[in-house]
Amino acid sequence: MSFVPNAPVLPRSFYARGARQVAKDLLGQWLVLRNADGICAGRIVETEAYCGVRDRACHTFGGRRTPRTETMWGPPGAAYVYFTYGMHWCLNAVCAAEGDPQAVLIRAVEPIEGVNLMRARRGPRCTERDLCRGPARLCQAFGIDGNLNGFDLARSALRILKAPQVPPRDRVRGPRIGVGYAGSDAGRLWRYGAGEARLFSAQFLKTGGAGERPSR
pLDDT for 129-147, tens place per residue? 999 999 999 999 999 999 9
- Residue 7 in any domain: the answer is no
pLDDT digits (tens, 9 = 90+) for 145-184: 999 999 999 999 999 999 999 999 999 999 999 999 999 9
The verdict on residue 129 lying in a domain is: yes
What is the pTM for the complete model shown?
0.93
Residue 121 within a domain: yes
| b/e per residue 8-39 (b: at least 16 CB within 10 A) | ebbebebbbebbbebbbbbbbbbbbbeeeeee
Backbone torsions φ then ψ of 33, nearest 5 degrees? -135, 125
CATH number, domain of 95, equals: 3.10.300.10
Has residue 186 got a pLDDT over 50?
Answer: yes
Domain span at 35? 12-199
Residues 189-213 pLDDT 10s: 999 999 999 999 998 865 444 455 5
Q: Going along 37-179, which residue ranges are E strands?
A: 38-50, 79-84, 88-95, 102-113, 158-161, 172-174
Q: Is 87 within a domain?
A: yes
Domain membership of residue 211 (yes or no) is no
Q: Are 59 and 50 in contact (CB under 8 A)?
A: yes
Whether residue 3 lies inside any domain: the answer is: no
- Measure the CA–CA gap between 67 and 179, rounded to whole angstroms: 22
Q: Give the total number of structural domains in the chain.
A: 1
Decide if 101 is inside a domain.
yes
Per residue in 90-108, is it b (16+ CB within 10 Å) or e — as a string? bbbbbbbeeebbbbbbbbb
Within-domain flag for 1: no
Q: What is the pLDDT of residues 59-101, one digit of tens each?
A: 999 999 999 999 999 999 999 999 998 789 999 999 999 999 9
The answer to whether residues 107 and 90 touch, using CB atoms and an 8 Å cutoff, is no
